Each structure stands twice: as C-alpha cells, then as structure tokens.
Structure 1
Amino acid sequence: MTRHPMAPADAAWLRMDRPTNLMVVTSVMWFDEVLDWTALRALVQHRMIDRFPRFRQRVVHEHGHYSWEDVADFELEDHLHPVRLTPPAGRQELEAFTSGLVSVPLEHDRPLWDLYLVEGYGSGCAAVFRMHHAIADGIALARMLMSLTDDPEVDPVAVTAPEATDAHTRALAGGVAHELLEALVHPQRLAALVARPGRVLDLARTAVADAEALAQLTVMPPDRQTALRGVAGVPKSVTWSPPVPLDSLRDAAHLSGTTVNDVLLAAVAGALRAHLVRRRSAVHDVRAIVPFNLRPPDQPLPAELGNKFGLVYVPLPLTTADRHERLQEMSRRTRRVKDSAQGLVAFGILEVVGLAPQVVEDVAIDVFASKGTGVMTNVPGPRRPVTLAGTRLAGTIGWGPTSGDLALGVAMFSYAGTVTIGLCVDVEVIPDVGLLLADLLTELDALVAPALAVP
C-alpha cells in the first residue's frame, strides 16, 4: 500500500490523545427540512473523499515514525452512521446526542473520521461530523465542510498542489529561522543572503521577535487556580446558543470603539466571572488559548489538509467587575496580543514536539495547557445562506479539542448574518454548562443594549 509521511505537527496531535481529552474535532450542522441522504452521500464522495486523500487513509506506526496509508478496500458506508432521535427531539436532545459522542475514541485502524446522519430532529434533521485533529485543524475542517455546500455566488473550493501551500506555510511559521540556518550551512546561500542587506535586517528583526515570544511562553506561569480548572474526566457536555444577530454585535463594537471579537470575548469573560461567583470560587484573570489561521484565507485548501495554525494566550479580565470597563480592557489586551509573535512560535514548538519521544510530548503538552484555562475559537462562515444537497443549512457549530486537563472549549461561528456560540465542557469540572451559556447570553445582551438604544 502507498504510504505518505505524516507531518510532525500532525503526529503531535495524533499522540496527544488521552481518554479524558480526545484530539477529535466535532461539528454539528442542523436543518429545518429533511436532507436527501443519497444526494449527501454523493457529495461526500465527490467533494470530500475524492478531493482530500486523508479521509480514505489510515495511520501506520512503524519504527517510531507515523505515516498515512491508502486503504485499498475503503468503503464510504463504513463511516456513515444513520441515527434516529426519539421524537419530539429538539436542540436539547441533539446536544445530548452530541455530548455522548465527544468522548468516544475513533478507531485508529481505519480512516479517522465519522459522519452521523441524524433523523428525527424537529421537522428536519442534523449531521454530526467527527474528525481526528491529525487530519486537519478545526479551521480547515470548517472550510472543508462548507465546501460541501452550495452557494451560486461563491466559487467552489479548489485543490492546490501541496508543494505550493507547504512552502508558503513554512515562510509564515518558522521560515525565518529555517532561512538563517540554511544560509549558515550552505555558503552559496549565505552569499546570496548577504547580497540582500534589507532581507538580513528583516530576518534579524523577526528572529528577535520570535526569541522574545519564545521567552514569554517559556516563563509564563501556570494559570491561576479557579473552579474552571481541575482534573479532567471522561464525560463531556456541549450546548450552543440561538443565533445572535451579527449586526447588533457590530453596532455594539462600533459604539464602544472595539471589535466584534472584543465584544464576544468580553461576554465570555463576564460569563466566566459569574460562573466563579456562583460557585463561590476565587475570581482571577484567566488566559484563553486562541487558535488562529496560518493559511492565507483567499487560497484554497491543500489536498493533504494538515495543521497550519498558531496559538496565542489571551488574558481575560475576569477581575474587572464593570462589564463596559471589562470590554475596554479586553480590547486593550487583544491589541497587545495581535502584535505578538506568540502564534508562529507556538506552531514551531508543536512541530518540534511532534518529533520528540512520547514522554517529552506528554510533559510539554501538560506544561503549555497549564498556562491557559480554556480553548476559544472564532471561525467565520458563509455570509449568505447555503444549501447542502439542496436543503438550506439552518445553523452549525463545532469545537476543537482541549488538551491536557483543560475543561473548557468555547466556539463561535458566524453564518448568514448571525453568530452561534457553543460550549464544550468537562462535566466533572464544570457541571452547569447550561447556566454558563445563560450567563454568556446575559452578558451579550447587556453589551449590545447601549447600541440598541441609540436612535
């Protein structure tokens, strides 16, 4: 069978699996009408399986190295699982079904994904997609899932040559150090580099920024202990919000001189503060671990997918009691993080960890997970309604995994003029996910209210 070497960053995610925190990305899509399952199967085959080989390959581990191996007898039906919810089934029943899947490991002797075709959801249906993080990051998965949908005003997702995308990503993440090292090892490259003094200066500046970011990550202490932290267990619970109008968030951001992302993060900070107060826990500022895309958003996904994203630690101002002051402080903190090289350095660390022995990776993951309290993602989706197999997509949300003992995942997905906010928690650490979501929506309402009052 044909084998393909696994990238170090992808191998790192594969080895990060623990029974208490699986490295699996879970996405939910729901519809107000029943899907044509036969048409969906054809779409999945044509736009996913045929385009992206990882979905028909399994993992092989030999002599300490991981590879992707083509499955000669691959059968799409082995990964499609018809499910029927007991009527009347609404959002709570779909949340309960999805929660039960989050802790179910994927079988490593077959391609690392599954799609559940859920009937009996309201007047329509739903689809729950699970994929191991070794295949791709959550941002790439969201783009891949949206490539299954149709919008006559948007060109379909295409596939580029892997070499072009890899080269571009290397230039974004760790390319500076790579270029400097190659110049030192190969005299002819050193001569070419010296002939471009402007490039030398750029490399020096970036190397200093990378070194400073690495130092910051290394000396950053563990996050403060609160009721949001603990020893992770196996059971998880997910929930998500009704759609929040994006225009109201934009108006609130404009009125306060902040951004939509600032408003959302400030609402999360306020909700976490309320959660800690309710549980009579110490209230401290905590750090959110925020992934961001390293792929150019205007370029199509590469055929091999993979993980191409950075991570930054964003301190959330929970100790700021006034919510409007909290929003301004949140804005100041996100502006500082935007100027940091943390994300690119974090990606480089992950690549190194993927080459290290398992025991080294375990220690590294625990150390870096301890520096934050939760993972928070904000993924932009289609601006207009789209259809899947001819049926309009009503809404969607998805979560990346949390590593180590992290117990909180917050996901935000914008679609067709709305934002859906989803929570995924460890029930042994955070037992009241429904109350936490209610707190978050209360905070959002309060932040949006001044903008609504403007005539």
Structure 2
Amino acid sequence: MSLDAERMSRVDTAWLRMDNDVNLMMIVGVWLLEPGITLAALRRRVEERFLRYARFRQRAVPDLLGASWVEDEHFDLSRHVVTTKLPRRRGQDERAALKALCAELAATPLDPQRPLWQFHLIERYEGGSAIVVRLHHCIADGIALISVMLSITDGGAEPPKHPRHAHGQEHGHEHGHEHDWLADAVLRPITDLTVKAIGMYGNGVARSMEMLAHPQTRFLGSLAVARHGWQVVHDAAALALMTDDSPTALKGKPGGLKAVAWNEPLPLDTVKAVGKALGCSINDVLLACAAGAIGRYLHDLGDDPAGKEIRAMVPVNLRSSDKAWQLGNRFGLAPLVLPIGIDNPIERVYAVRQRMAELKGSYQPLLAFAVLAMAGFLVKPVQDAVLNLFARKTTAVMTNVPGPREPLKFCGSTLRQTMFWVPASGDVGLGVSVLSYGGGVQFGLIADTALCPDPQAIVERFEPEFEKLLWLTMMLPWPGEDGAAA
C-alpha cells in the first residue's frame, strides 16, 4: 500500500461495498447544453476545475480492514471524459434514446482499477450537447456532489484550499480520523454522557450534530436529557421493528436491468404558492404528488392501492451548508411512509405533512448513519445482511435536492435542463429524484425493469396529480384582506 494512502471513512466504505448484481451504487446525472460543446472543451474544464479535488485522481482500494484512497499513478483523463454515440432504434426520438443510454450506463459498473467516475459527452443532441455523469456513491453524497458540479460551471467558486498534512491528508477534509467524528460519537454506547450530548440542544438532528462535534460544551437540564434519551431509545426501536410496507407490483426481486424517466419542469413559484395556501412545505406538495402518481400507476396496472402505504427511505443531510463542498457521505436515512392509497390530493398532502412533522424531531436519520458506519466495520456478507433488513422493508429511495434558481453556463453554453438519479440498495427497485433548477422543479425515476418496466408511465402521472392539487387549492375559500373569506 502506498505511503500516501488515505483510509476511507467507515460510511464511505459501506457504500463502496454496497454494489450487488442488481443495484450499483452510482449517482447518474444528465446535463442538456445549448449550444453544443466539444470534447476538448469538456476535458479542459474537467482538468482545470474538477481535478482540483484530489479525490477524483484516487482509486478506491479495498483491504481486510475496509478500504483506502490511493493516487492513481496511471491516471488518464481520456479514459474518464469520453464521447459516446447515442444509439437510436428506428422511429425512436432523441429523448427516448438518451433515456435508454442513461439506463444502460446506470447498470454498467465503473472500472474498479481506476477512479470511480466518468463523463460521457453526446456531442450532438437536440441542437446542442448532452453530458451523462456517473460517480460512485462512496465518493460523496448528493449535496456534496451538487456543490462540486456547481464549482465547475462558468464562474463557479473554487474549492477552498487547505494546508497539506503528512501522507497527502488535507486539513478539514473528509480524511483520516477527523471525518469519523460523527460515526464515533454515534457508535459509542448510549451511556448517560452520550444521552446528555445528544439531547443537549433540544429537538433537531442538526443541533445534535453540533453538540457531538463539540463535546466539551456544558450540559443542560436533566429533564431534557431524560426526554431526548427516551427519544433515542424510541427511534432506535422504531428502526429495528419497522413493519414491512404494503405489497405492490413495485416490490419483489429485481433483475438488474434499468429504465430511467424524467418530466418537463413545473414552475417552482406555482408549487410554492400551493404549499403556502395549504400551510405546507414545497416538499410536502412534491412528495404528495409523487405518492399520487405512484398510486395512480398501480391502480391503472390493476394493483389497487386503496388503503396501502409504501415506505421510502429519504436522505437527511447531516452536514452544515458551509461544508457542502467537502466530499464523503454525511447523511442519514429517514423512513417516510407515502400514502399512495389516499385518492383525495388535499387529504394526501396533509397526510404527508403529518408524517414529515413526525420525522423532524426524530433521531432516526442519525441512528441510520450509525448503522452505515457500523456496517463499514463488517465483512461484506455481514454488511449485506444488516443493510438488507432496511431494503426488505422499503419500496423506494427518494431524494429532493435544491439546485440554483438561475440557469447556469458551462463552457460558454447554457445548462438548460438537468436531472439525476439515485441508486437503490439491496433489492429495492425504485429510485425517486426531485430536483429544482432554474425556476422549475423536476421529477425523475430510475426503476428496475423487472418491477417497473416503464417508469415514464409513473412520471407522466406526476403533473396531472399536481394539476388536480392546484385546482382543488384554488377552489378552497381564500381569506380576504380583513381576514374574512373572500
């Protein structure tokens, strides 16, 4: 092993080893640019900006104790930034062909002997160009990768520079022992001291994170300690004793072939207006529409969703916004139950709001992070067994990432549309992505074709569900300026 090797964090190690025959732990994204760009321009931008992050020149090397990041002595940019032709069947339009290519790449492993990322440039696409980006989840989570991708756009902020430590480690980065502080804090037995640390700042995972980062702070209030200690125990039991979600056509044994889909953007301001009128968040509205689209798809398939609920694992960010540029994974998972069996859109959005409110004071995301950290200690067969306990109780992975409100430029071209898809672990067959960008919000799906052969059929039901919610909201009584109904 090289002297410059860096130990991979326990959580990142768990993600590295989570690949299986039917699900690869890759985040796949697509950028649509207008006008088109050249391969030379893309390679130049990647070399000047992207490779400033040392991680993208490093290989992931597993060993008996976990894994390390090792400099790729034979790094070749031409292997990572490539042109790809868009294969088109007779009668197939460009958008359908791009979706088929994204699905194929999502099921194609990255070369484990090289850094785990790749850019695929389709030079001529809809009058411009398209870029498909693939990055292994062990490198970073979605929030960090959004920060990285923004940094390579025109005018993007450069990553902060830090003094080098011995063996190539950088102060403040997710390297060595520093980046494991959260895992160490969570994995300690919940003694009186740890319960006090977790409960000190009151409700909210973010405040607990701050306490765990600064354990020297004085503790407050024995009643608060007892209350939050009970919350930890309660949430740990809830995670361990989760019941199976409703059986539907979307659960079963995946086959490994993928299909992807996305819709045209909805106006973000309209979604905000609906949320404000109903006293709900944008998230509540979007998740309710996603639940409605899935329910309608199952209904039309002959799989009656009435009275059914499915569970989606929702990532919860555990890092502060000023650390978003750092690589590595710092997020927990919260089990969100989606009410796919509620037909009334208003009733459904309020049901989602209630479920989200129940999660806000929960330590389940923190405890799920602990499970991932613990899994990083285990040999792969035992890790798979632990993580499959979650997968068996879950139908989908669902994530919502906020992007910039104004359209970005890349190599002089306009980034007119972007979408990404999240990987699913174990035997989970459905990944749901919501992304806001440039004043719009998009809904995307990646599905295993054995469980959902046509995810576009779900995506196409998303906008009609939002339209129903919009019209019903407009029909509700609106307060006048004096507070009376208008």
Q: TM-score, normalised by structure 2?
A: 0.84
CA distance in 2, matches of 1:117, 1:56: 20
2:311 equivalent to 1:287: yes
Query: Is the contact between residue 237 and residue 424 of structure 1 (CA under 8 Å) also seen in structure 2?
Result: yes
Letter in 2 for 1:25: I
Q: Are positions 1:301 and 2:303 aligned together?
A: no
Residue range with higher mean Cα deviation, 360-369 or 200-209:
200-209
Structure 2: distance between partners of 1:76 and 1:199: 56
Q: Which residue of 2 aligns with 1:387?
A: 409
Give the C-alpha shift of residue 163 in structure 1. Answer: 4.8
Q: CA deviation at 1:155?
A: 4.5
Q: Pick closer, same or farther for the CA change 1:220–1:148 going to 2, 3 Å.
A: same
Q: Determine if the alignment matches structure 1 residue 115 to structure 2 residue 119.
A: yes
For the residues of structure 1 that align with 2:347 and 2:325, how far apart are their CA atoms? 40
- 2:65–2:377: 8 Å Cα contact kept in structure 1? no
- Amino acid corresponding to residue 118 of structure 2 in structure 1: D
- Aligned with 1:298: secondary structure? helix
What count of residue pairs does the alignment treat as equivalent?
Answer: 443
Cross-structure match for 1:189: none
Decide which moves more: 442-451 or 110-119: 442-451
- The Cα offsets for residues 400-429 of structure 1, whole Å up to 9 and x where unpaired, read as 210111111110111111112111011110
Cα distance change, pair 49–333 in 1 and its aligned pair in 2 (3 A): same
SS at match of 1:312: strand
Contact 1:59 1:67 survives alignment (8 Å): yes
Which residue of structure 2 lines up, in the alignment, with residue 187 of structure 1? none
Match of 2:321, SS state, is coil
Query: Corresponding residue for 1:275?
Result: 297
Q: Deviation digits for residues 247-284 of structure 1, max 9, x if unmatched?
A: 11001111111111111100111111112212222421
- Picking from 214, 219, 231, the partner of 1:209 is 231
Residue by residue over 1:45-67, the C-alpha shift from the partner in whole angstroms, topping out at 9 and shown as x without a partner, is 122112x2221111222334311
- On the 8 A contact 1:86/1:120 being kept in 2, the answer is no
SS of 1:413 mapped into structure 2: strand
Q: Find the counterpart in structure 2 of residue 444 from structure 1.
A: 466
Distance in 2 (alpha carbons) for counterparts of 1:323 and 1:344? 31
Deviations 1:93-113 (A, max 9, x none): 211111111110111111111
Tell me the secondary structure at the aligned position of residue 233 of structure 1.
coil
* Match in the other structure for 2:101: 97
- Where in structure 2 are the equivalents of 1:194-205 lying within 5 Å? 196-198=218-220
Partner amino acid for 1:294? L
| CA root-mean-square deviation | 2.7
Q: Deviations over 1:79-133 (max 9, x none)?
A: 1110232689532221111111111011111111111011221100110111111
Mark the CA change 1:320 to 1:193 in structure 2 (over 3 Å): closer, same or farther: closer
**Alignment-mate amino acid for residue 114 of structure 2:** R
Q: Distance in 2 between matches of 1:163 and 1:282?
A: 55
- Read off the aligned partner of 2:44 and give its amino acid letter: A
Q: Which residue of 2 aligns with 1:240?
A: 262
The 2-side partners of 1:306 and 1:27 are apart by: 18
Change (3 A) 1:259 1:171: farther
Unaligned stretches of 5+ residues in structure 1: 185-191
CA distance in 2, matches of 1:193, 1:93: 53
Asked if structure 1 preserves the Cα contact closer than 8 Å seen for 2:251 and 2:451, the reply is: yes
In structure 1, what is the equivalent of residue 48 of structure 2?
46
Which secondary structure state, in structure 1, belongs to the residue aligned with residue 85 of structure 2? strand
Whether the 8 Å CA contact 2:311–2:336 is kept in 1: the answer is yes
Aligned ranges 1:53-202 → 2 under 5 Å: 53-85=54-86, 90-151=94-155, 155-159=157-161, 163-164=171-172, 175=185, 178=188, 196-198=218-220
- Aligned-residue offset at 1:210: 2.5
Q: Which has the higher contact order (CA 8 A, sep 6+)?
A: 1
Give the aligned residue type for 1:405: D
Match of 2:204 in 1: none
Task: Tell me the CA shift for residue 383 of structure 1.
Answer: 1.4
* Fraction of identical pairs, as percent: 35
Paired residue for 1:188? none
What are the ranges of 5 or more consecutive residues in structure 2 without an aligned counterpart? 164-169, 195-213, 479-485
C-alpha distance 73-331 of structure 1, shift in aligned 2 (>3 A): same
What residue is the counterpart of 1:7 in the other structure?
9
SS at structure 1 position matched to 2:152: coil
Correspondence 1:320 to 2:342:
yes
Deviations 1:323-374 (A, max 9, x none): 1111111111111111111101100110001101222111111111122210
- TM-score, length-normalised on structure 1? 0.90
Of stretches 380-389 and 170-179 in structure 1, the one that deviates more from structure 2 is 170-179
